[in-house]
A = this chain, B = another copy of it.
Amino acid sequence: MGAFTETGDHLATLRLAGLLKGAQRLLVDAYEPALAPFNVDGRELAVLTLLTVIGAVSQQEISRRLGIDRTTIVALTDTMSEKGLLLRLPDPRDRRKNLIELTPAGRDLHARAAPAIDEVEAAFLAPLAAEDRDKLRELLRAVVASR
């Protein structure tokens, strides 16, 4: 529990971090049932999306881009590897690194699961005016990008 069960005026008492926390929690909770049929969670899908967009990367780069500690990436990529979604290959250009790359199954799973969570995000943003839906993403990007 602990999931913003009250409605209406209560948001007036939340600071910016509280609003961000509440929004993130609601969205992640909404991802869950949408991703369950695919047997992945939100973090695993984020890895699939990353690898789909930019191709094979080291574990460190996954860590940096997704904001997940490199020690956590080990177990995460282990699990996804066991599920047959990705491969760990030694990087021939720097043998300290693993190159993490999608398997065909991983690529296929992303192709099927991504539309499901696009729908979840659309539903999440539905209460906003049409022109504000992209605006929210844009503002968040601007604020995160500038550190």
Across the interface, do B142 and A127 meet the contact criterion of CB distance under 8 Å?
yes
Copies in the complex: 2
* Neighbour of A18 across the interface among B22, B46, B145, CB < 8 A: B46
Distance in Å from the Cβ of A45 to the closest Cβ of chain B?
8
Chain A 122-147: CB-based contact to B (< 8 A → 1; otherwise 0):
00110110001001110111111111
Across the interface, do A13 and B117 meet the contact criterion of CB distance under 8 Å?
no
A31 to B69, CA, bound (A): 21
Residue tally, chain A, CB below 8 Å to B: 64
Across the interface, do A128 and B143 meet the contact criterion of CB distance under 8 Å?
yes
A70 to B2, CA, bound (A): 7
Could you list some 5 contacts between A and B, CB below 8 A? A6-B64, A11-B145, A16-B125, A20-B27, A21-B67
